[in-house]
């Protein structure tokens, strides 16, 4: 098994990189830097690793805090590398396209790259300098990680985002960034994986998503960018948006109700029966949009965000059908807690591909630090 030691493992990009690593069978070990840095602990982590990925950084603060803070973190990592008897074979730096652009932040990022490149050369390590554009995605910190995170938060909470600088953004979903950093995609793929959109364009799309999704419907997900942006938005409305009530029409003939209204893109509907006491699922998705709808029987649907121990539980009866949408990076399952057969319908935005299932095993009842 490949082992990767990661700085900034508990940050926004670090979270997504760890989620992606599980799909590829890569074990990750966090290396705390800054005030939590411990040379012996960091050395022990690095000595077991095949590669080290540097993600930790200072993005906000005074000019001095940004410049000196980023250099200090890099120097801590280099000191741990120098303290190991056998260094990893490669070092990967999650850098920024702003590196060297003359700004304080860009200069600081370039300086870190120089520090790491020199250390890798001296220690005989392969060095990969990954210049990432504007990263966006689920669970970013509003007012810190990206304008997408800020706008998603504001719109999801009924506030009005203001466009102050309507520039064009070079946007890359964080799971694409994780694939490149893990070596599952070449760095040359960044040009095709990224999407250009204005700040106003992002705002308008997020507002469209709000209007459609608030009615329980799915917006147009016909492009990769729209899917990724929608997954980002809906991360900010969970758990308040769940479960979704369904209009049920019943008469002497039986009952009728709608499950999904999709405004564009592919989709697949599946159906399952589950005997009493049996649980289905215990997996998560990195990109897939998925909806569970209980049609008959008694179900308990459980969801847990990766690397967290809080479990959201929804008890749903077929007597009052409801749907629950699965946020990305939330492991989930459904259990028949009744005495009769459980009937469940499943809808996903993509057609299942056995070669790329986007279904990663992870028990809801377990925590993974």
Q: What is the pLDDT of residue 254?
A: 85
Let me know if the fold of 3-207 is the same as that of 244-361: no
- Residues linked to residue 268 through DSSP beta bridges, in sequence order: 348
Contacts of residue 76, defined as CB under 8 A and 6 or more positions apart, other chains included, come to 33, 34, 37, 42
Mean pLDDT of 187-192: 96
Q: Is it the case that residue 84 has pLDDT exceeding 70?
A: yes
Confidence at 366, pLDDT banded by 50, 70, 90: low
Separation of alpha carbons 328 and 322, rounded Å: 20
Q: What mean pLDDT is predicted for residues 12-40? A: 97
Task: Report the chain's mean pLDDT, rounded to a whole number.
Answer: 96
> What pLDDT score was predicted for residue 255?
82
Report which DSSP code applies to 182.
T
Domain 244-361 homologous superfamily, CATH? Jelly Rolls (2.60.120.10)
CA distances from 129 to 18, 230, 311 (A): 19, 30, 38
pLDDT tens digits for 163-177? 999 999 999 999 999
For 298-325, write each residue's pLDDT tens digit: 999 999 999 999 999 999 999 898 999 9
Q: Where are the domains of the chain?
A: 3-207, 244-361
Please say if the pLDDT value at position 367 is more than 60: no
Local confidence band at 247 (pLDDT 50, 70, 90 cut-offs): confident
What does the pLDDT look like over 86-97, one tens digit per residue? 899 999 999 999
Query: Is 328 a residue whose pLDDT tops 90?
Result: yes
Would you state the pLDDT for residue 135? Answer: 97
* Reported pTM: 0.95
Does the pLDDT of residue 369 top 70, yes or no?
Answer: no
Tell me: the pLDDT tens digits for 105-153?
Answer: 999 999 999 999 999 999 999 999 999 999 999 999 999 999 999 999 9
- Sheet containing 322-326, strands listed edge to edge, beginning at the edge strand earlier in sequence: 244-245, 322-326, 290-296, 342-348, 268-274
* pLDDT tens, position by position, 267-300: 999 999 999 999 999 999 999 999 999 999 999 9
Query: Which residues does 357 contact at the CB level (< 8 Å), separation at least 6?
Result: none
Q: Measuring CA to CA, how many Å separate 268 from each of 28, 40, 102, 163, 351?
A: 33, 51, 49, 37, 5
Q: What is the pLDDT of residue 60?
A: 87
Instruction: Calculate the alpha carbon distances from 105 to 61, 83, 216, 295 in Å.
Output: 10, 29, 41, 53
Nearest of 5, 1, 18 to residue 307 by alpha carbon: 18
Alpha-carbon distances of 287 from 28, 40, 181, 225, 364, rounded to whole Å: 21, 37, 17, 11, 18
User: How many whole angstroms separate alpha carbon 109 and alpha carbon 312?
Assistant: 39
CATH fold label, 3-207 = Rossmann fold (3.40.50)
Two structure tokens written together for 177? 């960034």
Share of the chain above pLDDT 70, in %: 99
């Amino acid at each position: 098994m490949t082992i990767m030691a990661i700085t900034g493992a508990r940050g926004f990009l670090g979270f997504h990189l760890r989620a992606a690593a599980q799909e590829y069978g890569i074990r990750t070990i966090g290396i705390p830097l800054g005030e939590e840095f411990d040379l012996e602990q960091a050395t022990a982590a690095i000595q077991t690793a095949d590669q080290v990925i540097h993600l930790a950084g200072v993005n906000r603060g005074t000019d001095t805090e940004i410049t000196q803070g980023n250099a200090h973190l890099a120097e801590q990592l280099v000191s741990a590398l120098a303290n190991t008897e056998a260094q990893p074979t490669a070092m990967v730096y999650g850098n920024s396209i702003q590196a060297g652009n003359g700004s304080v932040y860009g200069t600081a990022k370039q300086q870190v790259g120089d520090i790491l490149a020199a250390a890798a050369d001296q220690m005989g390590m392969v060095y990969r300098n990954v210049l990432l554009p504007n990263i966006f995605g689920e669970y970013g910190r509003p007012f810190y990680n990206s304008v997408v995170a800020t706008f998603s938060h504001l719109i999801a909470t009924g506030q009005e985002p203001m466009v102050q600088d309507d520039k064009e953004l070079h946007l890359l979903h964080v799971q694409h960034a994780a694939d490149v950093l893990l070596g599952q995609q070449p760095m040359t793929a960044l040009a095709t994986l990224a999407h250009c959109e204005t700040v106003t364009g992002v705002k308008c799309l997020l507002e469209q998503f709000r209007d459609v999704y608030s009615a329980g419907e799915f917006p147009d997900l016909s492009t990769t960018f729209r899917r990724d942006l929608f997954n980002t938005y809906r991360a900010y409305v969970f758990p308040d948006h769940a479960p979704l009530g369904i209009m049920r029409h019943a008469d002497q003939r039986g009952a009728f109700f709608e499950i999904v209204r999709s405004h564009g893109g592919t989709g697949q509907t599946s159906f399952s029966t589950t005997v009493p006491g049996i649980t289905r699922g215990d997996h998560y998705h990195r990109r897939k949009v998925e909806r569970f709808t209980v049609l008959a029987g008694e179900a308990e649907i459980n969801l847990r965000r990766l690397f967290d121990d809080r479990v959201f539980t929804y008890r749903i009866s077929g007597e009052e059908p409801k749907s629950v949408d699965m946020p990305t990076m939330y492991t989930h399952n459904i259990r028949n807690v009744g005495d009769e057969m459980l009937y469940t319908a499943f809808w996903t935005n993509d057609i299942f591909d056995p070669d790329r299932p986007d279904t990663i095993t992870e028990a809801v009842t377990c925590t993974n630090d």
